[in-house]
Structure 1
Amino acid sequence: MYPSFQNNVLFVLIPTLVVVATQLLLIRRVSSLKMTNAYLDHKCSANQGKYKPGSYYEKIFDSAIQELSKNTEAFRGGSIYMDYTDLQEIRSDPERIYFTFQCRGDIYGPQCRSCFATAQSELIKRCPRDKGAIIWYDHCLFQFSSIGTAGGINYDDSVCYNTARARPNAKSHISDSVFKFLTLLDNLTSIAVIKRNKFFKNVDQPALFAAGEKTFGNKKLYVMVQCTRDLNAKACEECMAYNIKHFEDCYENKPVGLKSGARVLGRSCNFRFERYPFVNPKTSSIYLKF
Structure 2
Amino acid sequence: MQFLIIHSVSSLNLTNEYLNHKCFLDQGIYNTGSEYEDSLNIILRSVRTGSYYKNGFMRTSRGREPAPDAVTVMFQCRGDSYGSKCRTCADTAVAGFRRRCLRNKGGIIWYDQCFLWVSAIGEDMPINTNYKNMFSMYNPNNVRGDAKLFAKRVVDFFSELTLKVDKNTEVGSVVILYAEGKKKLGKNTLYAMVQCVELTIDCKSCLTWSILKLFKNDDIKQGGRVLGSNCEVRYELYPFIRS
What is the aligned partner in structure 1 of residue 56 from structure 2?
78
Letter aligned with residue 22 of structure 2? K
Match for residue 269 of structure 1 among 220, 223, 231: 231
Show structure 1 runs of 4+ deviating over 6 A: 91-94
CA deviations 1:102-148 (Å, max 9, x no partner) are 11101112221111011111111111111111111111111101123
Q: Hey, what's the Cα distance between the residues in 1 that align with 2:92 and 2:85?
A: 11
Q: Structure 1 pair 184/130, CA: closer, same or farther in 2 (3 Å)?
A: same
Give the match's secondary structure for 1:77.
coil
Q: Structure 1 pair 55/208, CA: closer, same or farther in 2 (3 Å)?
A: same
Q: Hey, what's the Cα distance between the residues in 2 that align with 1:40 and 1:184?
A: 25
Q: Structure 1 pair 46/94, CA: closer, same or farther in 2 (3 Å)?
A: closer
Letter aligned with residue 81 of structure 1? R
Higher strand share: 2
Q: Hey, what's the Cα distance between the residues in 2 that align with 1:93 and 1:108?
A: 32
* 2:126–2:229 contact (8 Å) kept in structure 1: no
* 1:135–1:143 contact (8 Å) kept in structure 2: yes
What is the aligned partner in structure 1 of residue 30 from structure 2?
51
CA deviations 1:163-205 (Å, max 9, x no partner) are 23112x32xx2432211111111110111121515xx3x4473
* 2:180–2:194 contact (8 Å) kept in structure 1: yes
Shift of the alpha carbon at 1:94?
Answer: 7.2
Larger Rg: 1
Normalising by structure 1, we get a TM-score of: 0.73
**CA-based RMSD:** 2.1
Match for residue 32 of structure 1 among 6, 13, 19: 13
* 2:27–2:104 contact (8 Å) kept in structure 1: yes
* 1:79–1:229 contact (8 Å) kept in structure 2: yes
Q: Hey, what's the Cα distance between the residues in 1 that align with 2:31 and 2:162?
A: 42
Shift of the alpha carbon at 1:101?
Answer: 0.5
Match for residue 132 of structure 1 among 86, 106, 121: 106
What is the aligned partner in structure 1 of residue 125 from structure 2?
149
CA deviations 1:54-110 (Å, max 9, x no partner) are 1111111112112333321x1222111112226xxxx88773211111111011122
* Matching of residue 238 in structure 1 with residue 211 in structure 2: no
Give the match's secondary structure for 2:42.
helix
What is the aligned partner in structure 2 of residue 191 from structure 1?
164
Q: Structure 1 pair 57/261, CA: closer, same or farther in 2 (3 Å)?
A: same
Q: Unaligned 5+ residue runs, structure 1?
A: 1-30, 282-290
Give the match's secondary structure for 1:143.
strand
What is the aligned partner in structure 2 of residue 211 from structure 1?
180
Give the match's secondary structure for 1:107.
coil
Higher helix share: 1
Percent identity, aligned pairs only, is 32
What is the aligned partner in structure 2 of residue 109 from structure 1?
83
Q: Hey, what's the Cα distance between the residues in 2 that align with 1:150 and 1:49?
A: 19
Give the match's secondary structure for 2:210.
helix
* 2:89–2:114 contact (8 Å) kept in structure 1: yes
